[in-house]
Amino acid sequence: MGLRAENFVQKYTGENSGGTVKYDDEKVIDKLDIFPSMNFIYSLKENSNLRLSYSKTTARPSFKEVSIAEIYDPLSNMTFNGNINLKPSYIDNLDLRYELFGEDNELFAISGFYKSFKDPIELTYYEASTENFQPKNLGNAKVYGLELELRKQISQSLGINLNASIIESRQQYGSSELSLRTKGLRDGESLGTYRNLQGQSPFLINSSLDYKNENGLRAGLFFNMQGKTLEVVGTGFAPDVYTQPYESLNLNMSKSYGKNQNKTVTIKVENILDSKKESFYESFKAENEIFSFREQGTTFSVGYSIKL
């Protein structure tokens, strides 16, 4: 069990584009927070545990977010607007985890988790304009799910790692958002009491295949995937924006040689699948329209290092 106290002060200096509102080294956040944590471990067998943990954490807004800045991006023709009234988020975390340990740092673990968010920070439209965005505290949220973790040595040289999660998020509508969404309903469209939490994917997969031998050769193949994710919170008249499912496959290789293996050649290949990042405006009974499209391409790099 533990208890941590933090006194956090954030100051801001700046003015709006018209020069009518100015801040000069003024406090925008001044919080004294207490963060408890508890961790209970019950040993089932010599190589297995049942772990129950609780912690309270915070997610504080960045300097850009707690501001009156207006940041224009000429490439996207969009403007980010700071929110001087933004509040920190507070999260209660509860986790129940079963762990089974093997040889050579092997692990099998499965967890159930629950998170309660007070005032999560979400990106939404500013003044109902689809070209202006602002971070806001729109309401409270809950997140719960299951997580699987696996570390396994297939042989002395080859190992695999896997971390996979399925996640359900529920963001309660605040009164302002609920009113705007209700006014923007189309014929046949209904509105529930919650939506997805902005930025929270419904599933995550991170995996790797690692190889190394006594001759200084190392290689790693890394695969990551996430599901369809709410990127910008709509207002009813302005549609939600969703990032489409995305996967990434990368390869890292290195060979050490020479006296005491002091010379190393590295090769990296990123985005082998040539995956593209796409986001779409989505609304009821309407064709999706492109919000952003990022074609990253596949990159190759070669490096050389020597230890003197």
Which three-class secondary structure string do you get for the chain?
CEEEEEEEEEEEEEECCCCCCEEEEEEEEEEEEEEEEEEEEEEEECCEEEEEEEEEEEECCCCCCCCCCEEEECCCCEEEECCCCCCCEEEEEEEEEEEEECCCCCEEEEEEEEEEEECCEEEEEECCEEEEEEEEECCCEEEEEEEEEEEEECCCCEEEEEEEEEEEEEEECCHHHHHHHHHCCCCCCCCCCEECCCCCCCEEEEEEEEEECCCCEEEEEEEEEECCEEEEECCCCCCEEEECCEEEEEEEEEEEECHHHCEEEEEEEECCCCCEEEEEEECCCCCCEEEEEEECCCEEEEEEEECC
Tens of pLDDT, residues 220-269: 999 999 999 999 999 878 899 999 999 999 999 999 998 888 899 999 99
Tens of pLDDT, residues 203-229: 999 999 999 998 889 999 999 999 999
Average pLDDT of the chain to the nearest whole number: 93
Q: Which domains does the chain have, with CATH numbers?
A: 2-306 (2.40.170.20)
Q: Rg for the chain (alpha carbons), in Å?
A: 24
Distance CA 136, CA 119 (A): 9
Instruction: Give mean pLDDT in consecutive 10-residue pieces for the chain, a chain of 308 residues.
Output: 94 87 92 96 95 97 94 87 96 98 93 98 85 93 98 94 98 88 88 93 98 93 98 89 97 92 94 95 91 93 92
Structure tokens at 100: 């089974």
